[in-house]
Structure 1
Amino acid sequence: MKVEQIHHVAYRCKDAKETVAFYKRVLGMDLIGAIAEDKVPSTKAPDPYMHIFLDAGGGNILAFFELPNSPPMGRDPNTPDWTQHIAFTVKDMAALDEAKANAEAAGLEVVGPTDHSIFQSIYFKDPSGHRLEVATWTTTPEELERLKAVAPAMIEEWSRTKKPPRHAAWLHQKEFADA
């Protein structure tokens, strides 16, 4: 068995209608489906919900649940805000600039573009507080192969030491040299 692609990724939202409008207006995603029930199909728990599905391009689906009878949404206070995010790919820097303009036109605070050496990205939040990233690749196939080649050794070293291995330090050497 081999996974073919992600079917969908689901998050909770504060308001399904507001979420649909936001993702259409800011990121151009269309609503492709909605399911609502009084009981959770998998657990049979009585918990009314609205489950929405958005077209994230290339067969990718981003989904949300609005859960009106559950306690208010929260975050794990022990996980830094920047770690949990949804990242989307756009074609090129022109599309990234357009995404930034769309987000700013919607009144959102945008961080970036941030140069990650192999891609550039911007960051902002959706109405439910989820951190979003829009990125475009700026690397070569050779650089990606170089990263893939050192990844297993990096994981092993990290597992033993819990200190950042330096196998891919070349990614940020330019960034720190410019600082």
Structure 2
Amino acid sequence: MGVGRGDLTGVRHASEDGVKLSLNGVDHTARPTWKLNETVEFYRDILGLPLVHAISARGWGPPGHHDFLHFFFEAGNGATIAFFYYIGSERPERYVPEEHHFYFATHTAWAVETEAELIEWKETLERRGIKVSPYTKHEILESIYFTDPNGYPVEVTRRLRETEQIDEVDAALTMQAAMEVETESRASGRLMPDIDTVWRRKARLVSDYKAGPQ
């Protein structure tokens, strides 16, 4: 399915057309798999997610589209996690898992509410033969990490606290600083140099924010 990517030049912002869009949570995420049995057994039997829907179809769309299975597991709060199995295809090199933070940046994270639940997940998964990371605290979350049979990273996390207005302000200033630095770096044909450059720019924005409207 073709969608616009990359440069947003010429695209209208929400503030320009007066239309306020809203979303009602994530319906599903989807990824390809070339390990049909292992994927079903992992999500259904190891993680205990109910298999709730499956689509089977001849190839559609452009020529050469494989016949496929598209199957969904319940993921909580009305959401599902889904996979495509393209019949008769072999996994391209680009989908081979890598031991690199670029690869692990794309992951699925499920929420639990309490520390006891997080502990139960870690201990149960380990008893079921899954290698699970140590408990990791980062900012407002505590998480455990593991991978599914495809090598896709999976996270189970609990909130240590809810976000507040100060978090939203901080996020806005952080990202404004980073976007400004990226724009300037691109204009000069360079990559963004380091996080310190962003922090210095953010410090100026924080100072301006505290000073209020001029």
TM interval, short-chain normalised = 0.7 to 0.9
Maintained 8 Å contact 1:26/1:99: no
1:152-173, CA deviations, whole angstroms, 9 ceiling, x for partnerless residues? 1111111233443457xxxxxx
Note if 1:129 corresponds to 2:151. yes
Maintained 8 Å contact 2:71/2:82: yes
Note if 1:29 corresponds to 2:49. yes
Gaps of 5+ in 1: 168-179
Secondary structure of 2:87's aligned partner: coil
Structure 2 equivalent of residue 3 of structure 1: 23
Structure 1 equivalent of residue 104 of structure 2: 82
Note if 1:12 corresponds to 2:26. no
Specify whether residues 104 and 56 from structure 1 end up closer, same or farther in structure 2 by C-alpha distance, changes over 3 A only. Answer: same
Gaps of 5+ in 2: 1-20, 182-191, 203-214
Measure the CA separation in 2 of the matches of 1:5 and 1:134: 18
Structure 2 equivalent of residue 51 of structure 1: 70
Provide the aligned C-alpha RMSD in A: 2.3
Amino acid in the other structure paired with 1:51: H
Secondary structure of 1:121's aligned partner: strand
Structure 1 equivalent of residue 140 of structure 2: 118
Q: CA deviation at 1:66?
A: 1.1
Structure 2 equivalent of residue 96 of structure 1: 118
Q: Percent identity at matched positions?
A: 27
Higher strand share: 1
Maintained 8 Å contact 1:27/1:99: no
Measure the CA separation in 1 of the matches of 2:64 and 2:23: 29
Instruction: Report the TM-score, using the length of structure 1 for normalisation.
Output: 0.80
**Higher relative contact order structure (alpha carbons within 8 Å, sequence separation ≥ 6):** 1
Secondary structure of 2:103's aligned partner: coil
Structure 2 equivalent of residue 106 of structure 1: 128
Specify whether residues 6 and 44 from structure 1 end up closer, same or farther in structure 2 by C-alpha distance, changes over 3 A only. Answer: farther
Specify whether residues 76 and 106 from structure 1 end up closer, same or farther in structure 2 by C-alpha distance, changes over 3 A only. Answer: closer
Q: CA deviation at 1:70?
A: 2.7
Pairs aligned (count): 164
Maintained 8 Å contact 1:16/1:52: no
Q: Which deviates the most, 19-28 or 2-11?
A: 19-28
Q: CA deviation at 1:94?
A: 1.0
Measure the CA separation in 1 of the matches of 2:129 and 2:36: 20
Measure the CA separation in 1 of the matches of 2:32 and 2:66: 14
